[in-house]
Amino acid sequence: MGKIYGIDLGTTNSCISVLQEGRPHIIPVDGNGIVPSVVSLDGTNLLVGRKAWNRAAAFPEQTIRSVKRLMGTMEKLTLGGKEYEPEDISAMILRYLCDEAHKIEGREIENVVITVPAYFSDAQRRATMEAGKRAGLAVERIINEPTAAALFYDHVFASYGEPDLKNSSAKGSRPAPSQRTGEEYALVYDLGGGTFDVSVLRMGEIIEVLASTGDTHLGGDDFDKRIVTRILRQIKEKDGLDLEDHVPAVARLNAVAEKAKISLSEKASVRIEETHIPAPKGNCTVSMELSREEFESMTEDFVDRTVASVEKAMEEAQLSAEKIGKVLLVGGMTRMPVIAARLEKIFGSARMPVVDPDLSVANGAAIQGGIISGENCEQILVDVTPHTLSLESISFDFERLECAPIIPRNTQIPVTRARTFGTVSYHQKAAELKVYQGESHFPEDNTLIGETYLELAPAEAHCPIVVEYSYDLNGIVHMVAEQKGYSRKTEVRIDSRNPQLFSSQGLKEIEGDTENEDEEEIEVEVEEGANAINFVTQHARNMLSKMPAGEKKDVLAETLARYERALLDDGDDGNNVDEIEDELLSLMEEEIEVADEDADDNADEE
């Protein structure tokens, strides 16, 4: 395999890096390697990067920015009267990076690792892969941005002792891995143009992501908007003009606001002076002073939100602030002094090394590329699932639908997990299978990422259905559902951007596995609710919570405990999952019958 390049496909800027003699090097596309993720049309000429960015303020209608925010959606973008999908625009950026890097390096670029925010959903990851494909690239791996940053930090740290992370080619003697200072935890705080991510990692011989959280809709653009709102208010007060919906004015002001925000990272105050703000009847002007203090208080809620996520990530990793050895700041927005100041209050300044926030993600991706192609095998990357993946099931009391987790959030990937559910009724014809991602117990609060149904052979109620989810290294989900012992199986390819395409790849029978097969023709009709499937253990737990104390309850609790142990052992240690499951189901059935009889008796008495 040839070189694998690392690409940070950012909301605002993108970067491409490659490993040379074991060290990552940013390829200086557009001068310094920080390439605006902007596409613009100049006549029939398609411009990408810095040249496109230069046109953004003057020709907003012919320019597309922040397309990363739309990845994974069905939204269409128009450029020169032509409609594009977000993947097409991202593909243009990727193609531009690779073409320009080719000109500089003299080497054709075919294989890449692309980074995404850890919080990106399955659809967003898929869309990113698709963009790579449309750019004619082989996407070897999608990795999380904070993970890439930590990988870069760890690489430099392991290679050259005390890190000089501003300069990835830092010289120094390379201690053997065993000479490292030992295991420690790092927190990566990544605030970019459009997204925020925070991850807690264990940094040892293996870099392991312990927790990852964030906000896909919080970034530098939001901070800019607050300044734009302030300017628009001033124009309204001064000239009586409402330019909020005037696209050319807002585009111009976005650029003005971003410039002011960046200046405020260096200066205590800036003068915003603009004489060419496009308005419906000629230009208008703005002149105002903005202090860093004012700007910080205008945007304090955003910073608070990021700090809350930091606390959440530590809680999920079950680590206190004292345990965090290093806090790495990533993303252009972390140049705002208030960010470091807020984090210093929690972690202290000694634990915050200077990392170049713009380049470390691409460099980490290049290191990952090197690891895949066999160039650098020191680190093994362990990544985690950003969301819980669950299956919709019906609650024990039949009153509502619930999400039964199959792969919990922050499980190391790649992972395959299966859970057993049960049918609701005798001779149930089909089971609806709805895959959700999200942390809520309730489907309506989570995101539906795939659905299909499994045609069932006639069977008793509670017939077990094993549903298996696989989450691969790119964070993409595959589902297999099987009616146990009845040779009914379905596999689903999930494309969450288009629910209609969420169909199964065809219901098929497993050859040779025909025990209990009933040859009766099955008509499939999926009725709302009636075909939902139950989560056996969840039902049993619900049942236990409602049972009065006594021998029956003890027996059910003991059987459930044995069943759960058997599921975990997956049939090892002489456990027979099927047998215990049958035992559990018949106990539950008995209990349901008793409850029904009691209910009938009560009704009769009334």
**Binding positions for ligand AMP, rule: CB under 6 A:** 10-13, 192-193, 220, 258, 261-262, 265, 331-333, 335-336, 358
Instruction: Output the residue with the shortest Cβ distance to ligand AMP.
Output: 220
Q: State the Cα–Cα distance between residues 250 and 408, nearest whole angstrom.
A: 42
Nearer to ligand AMP, 6 or 332 (CB): 332
Q: With CA atoms as reference, report the closest residue to 253 among 281, 218, 288, 219.
A: 288
Q: Compute the least distance from the CB of residue 296 to ligand AMP, in Å.
A: 12
Nearer to ligand AMP, 12 or 538 (CB): 12
Give CA–CA dist 540/587, Å, rounded.
9
**Which of 9/406 has CB closer to ligand AMP?**
9
Cβ atoms of residues 361 and 145 within 8 Å: yes
Closer CB to ligand AMP, 257 or 431, in the complex: 257
Nearer to ligand AMP, 72 or 464 (CB): 72
Question: Is the bond preceding 117 in cis, omega lying within 30 degrees of 0?
Answer: no
Residue 372 CB contacts under 8 Å (≥ 6 apart), including other chains: 1, 4, 113, 140, 141
Amino acid identity, position 573:
D
Pick between residue 338 and residue 592 the one whose CB is nearest to ligand AMP. 338
Q: How far is the CB of 225 from ligand AMP (least distance, A)?
A: 11
Give dist(CA 301, CA 422) in Å, integer.
46
CA distance 325 to 314: 12
Q: Shortest approach of ligand AMP to residue 77 CB, angstroms?
A: 19
Structure tokens at 220: 């530098």
User: Quick one: tokens of 562?
Assistant: 């044995």
Work out how close the CB of 146 gets to ligand AMP at its nearest, in angstroms, rounded to a whole number: 12
**What residues are paired with 493 via a beta bridge?**
478
Residue 211 has, within 13 A of its CA and on its CB side, a CA count of: 20
Contact assessment for residue 447 and residue 440, using Cβ atoms and an 8 Å cutoff: no
Cβ pair 147, 207 in contact under 8 A = yes
Phi-psi category of 22—alpha, beta or left, where left has phi over 0 and alpha has psi -120 to 50? left
Q: Which is nearer to ligand AMP, 333 or 463 (CB)?
A: 333
What's the one-letter identity of residue 345? K
Beta bridge partners of 606: none
Compute the least distance from the CB of residue 486 to ligand AMP, in Å: 51
Q: Are 27 and 17 a contacting pair, CB within 8 Å? A: yes
| Nearest-angstrom CA–CA distance, 581 and 43 | 68
Cα separation, 321 vs 330, whole angstroms: 19
* 592: its two tokens: 């349901």
Q: Compute the distance between CA of residue 519 and CA of residue 517 in angstroms, rounded to an integer.
A: 6
E strands, 108-195, where? Answer: 111-116, 138-144, 184-191
CB of 339 to ligand AMP, least distance (A): 9
Nearer to ligand AMP by C-beta: 65 or 484? 65
CB of 115 to ligand AMP, least distance (A): 11
Least CB distance to ligand AMP at residue 155 (A)? 20
**CB 29 → ligand AMP: shortest distance, Å?**
14
Whole-number Å distance between alpha carbons of 395 and 402: 6
Q: Distance between CA atoms of 27 and 110, rounded to whole angstroms?
A: 15
Residue 6 vs 220, nearer CB to ligand AMP: 220
Residue 46 near residue 62, CB atoms below 8 Å: no
Minimum distance from CB of 90 to ligand AMP (Å)? 14
Nearer to ligand AMP, 258 or 591 (CB): 258
* Distance in angstroms (rounded) separating the CA atoms of residues 277 and 150: 42
The tokens 């004619």 sit on which residue? 136
Give the residue with the Cβ less far from ligand AMP, 294 or 316.
294
Least distance from C-beta 49 to ligand AMP, angstroms? 13
Nearest approach in angstroms of CB 99 to ligand AMP is: 21
Q: How far is the CB of 192 from ligand AMP (least distance, A)?
A: 3
- Whichever of 191 and 588 has its CB closer to ligand AMP, that residue is 191
Nearer to ligand AMP, 264 or 467 (CB): 264
The least CB distance from residue 474 to ligand AMP, in Å, is 21
Nearer to ligand AMP, 269 or 425 (CB): 269
Amino acid identity at 232: L
Nearer to ligand AMP, 258 or 455 (CB): 258
Smaller CB distance to ligand AMP: residue 265 or 373?
Answer: 265
Q: Is 341 helix (H, G, I), strand (E, B) or coil?
A: helix
Q: Which residues have CB under 8 Å from 181's CB, separation 6+?
A: none
Amino acid, single-letter form, for residue 463: C
Contacts of 362 (CB under 8 A, 6+ apart): 6, 7, 8, 15, 16, 17, 24, 26, 33, 115, 148
Q: How far is the CB of 496 from ligand AMP (least distance, A)?
A: 24
Cα–Cα distance measured from residue 508 to residue 258, given in angstroms and rounded to the nearest whole number = 56
Q: Shortest approach of ligand AMP to residue 227 CB, angstroms? A: 11
Q: Taking every pair of C-alpha atoms in the chain, what is the biggest distance, in angstroms?
A: 89
